[in-house]
Amino acid sequence: MVPKVAGKGSSFKGAAQYYLHDKGALTRERVAFSETLNLPTRDPDKAFKCMAWTAAHQNEIKARAGGSMRGRRLRDPVYTYSLSWAPDERPTRDEMLDAAKDTLKVLGLHEHEAILVSHRDEPHPHIHAIVNRVHPETGIAAKLSNDHLKLSRWAEAYEKRQGLIRCEQRVENNERRRRGEWAKDRRDYRSGDFYRWRRQQVNESQARRQREEGSLTGAQKKRRDDLHRDHVRRREAAFRDEHRHRWRAIYQHQERERQKLAYELDSPKERLDQLLTRDKKRVLRFDREDRTGFLTRAHKAALEREEKTRALEERQRHYRAEVAEKFKSADIKAVNEIDEQYQRDLAALIETERLERDTLKAEHSRQSQETARRIKDSADYQDYRKDRAAKRLARRSQLKDELTRPGGGGVSDQFRKAGRGVDSDRSGERGGKSGAFRDNANDIGRGREGRGRDRSLRRKPPEDPENK
């Protein structure tokens, strides 16, 4: 039997939403059964509204009962706890209800409004109790002091009645409490050292989770960048490498055409220049009409080079445009295939990244819940004690190494300040005071004003009677 106090709250609606439904839903698959106590209805949905009305009209109930109206308004009227059996136990409904009612009597809540809810979503049977701290007749709020200890003693008695003790530590702790001893050492638990250690552990866990998230984000960004660079490279290859040799052949062929035309055009021009240079005087003696026709033909022959060159360049340009259009249609088809493949790869990568992030978030959530559970169950206090013991052992080893080191020169200053040594159990064998106490004692009166007092405190040797 494990009783566990969930705590106090202010909202009956929130408690009913959680305990009377599935987690995060409006269904009730996990609710095995429910029972109301000291309420005018058996419907749990109406019962929590009645409890909320009682808590809201606390002062009116006090006035009707003739009680005092002084005091602050109760801010946390909701009180919840649970009773859990072992997974191998199979208590009946009546047994679970009887156990819950017994705990209400132990806590002094048997006259208060309550809803008992049993769940079947865990491997162990358990029942929850939602109690209104405000008494329905007097309006006085239950104090609930030492509720954990009361439930612990009740659970011990319950297991003894069942004939099987499942928690030996609880029996030992309760026995020590009955003798007036502390069941647990809470001096360090209340000290700031423990809370600083806990805060440091939580901060380190948070920093580690942030580093893991940053590392995952960086790795995912790198994979996306690599995929994008590969996509761009494939697109460039589709435009450049696919038709590069074809464009090279086209440009080489057109260059040969230009060179041939240039050769053909350069030969008549040279012949015309030679003709004009050689027969200039004879040509000038021609008749006027013949001279005009000859000069016109010579001028046309000189301009024929530019016209043919321009026509060739225009024809080559049109041919390149036609080839480029054909290549473009083929490139668009290839690029579309590359883009479609990139979109498929990117979608698969996004899904993989989503699964990675969900897995990491689930792991971080599990770690956070485990940390919260250990804090709530005070399990981290044992880790704190182990960590402190390990540090103390390491410090003692360091001090022992300083003592045993060749040329160490005795006890260190920190060891002397601590007031104890590694072999402190030998102080009784030597007799007298420890080194730290002797040093402190010798420091008394060593000032300029106290030297005489220091000498006066010294013991004088006994006088010899024969020398009187």
236 and 351 Cβ atoms separated by less than 8 Å = no
- pTM for the model stands at 0.45
Q: Residue 83 in contact with residue 100, Cβ under 8 Å? A: yes
**CA angle, 60 then 61 then 63, to 5°:** 65
| Ramachandran angles phi, psi of 93, nearest 5° | -65, -45
Sheet holding 31-37, edge to edge: 2-9, 78-84, 126-132, 114-119, 31-37
Q: Where are the alpha helices (DSSP H) in 377-426?
A: 380-404, 413-418
Q: Does residue 11 contact residue 78 with C-beta atoms inside 8 Å?
A: yes
Neighbours of 82 (CB within 10 A): 19
**What single-letter DSSP state applies at residue 8?**
E
Q: What is the pLDDT of residue 327?
A: 76
Any residues with CB less than 8 A from the CB of 130 and at least 6 apart, and which?
Answer: 12, 15, 16, 19, 48, 51, 78, 79, 80, 114, 115, 116, 117
C-alpha 101/C-alpha 97 separation (Å) is: 6
Domains along the sequence of the chain with CATH:
2-183 (3.30.930), 210-375 (no CATH)
Residues with pLDDT less than 70, the chain: 184-191, 238-242, 264-305, 407-468
Residue 183 tokens read as 């069941």
Which two tokens mark 462?
A: 């006994």
Q: Are 47 and 36 in contact (CB under 8 A)?
A: yes
User: Which pLDDT does position 23 carry in this prediction?
Assistant: 84
C-alpha span between 293 and 300 (Å, rounded): 11
Q: What sign for the dihedral angle of Cα 365, 197, 145, 56? A: negative
DSSP per position, 90-106: ---HHHHHHHHHHHHHH
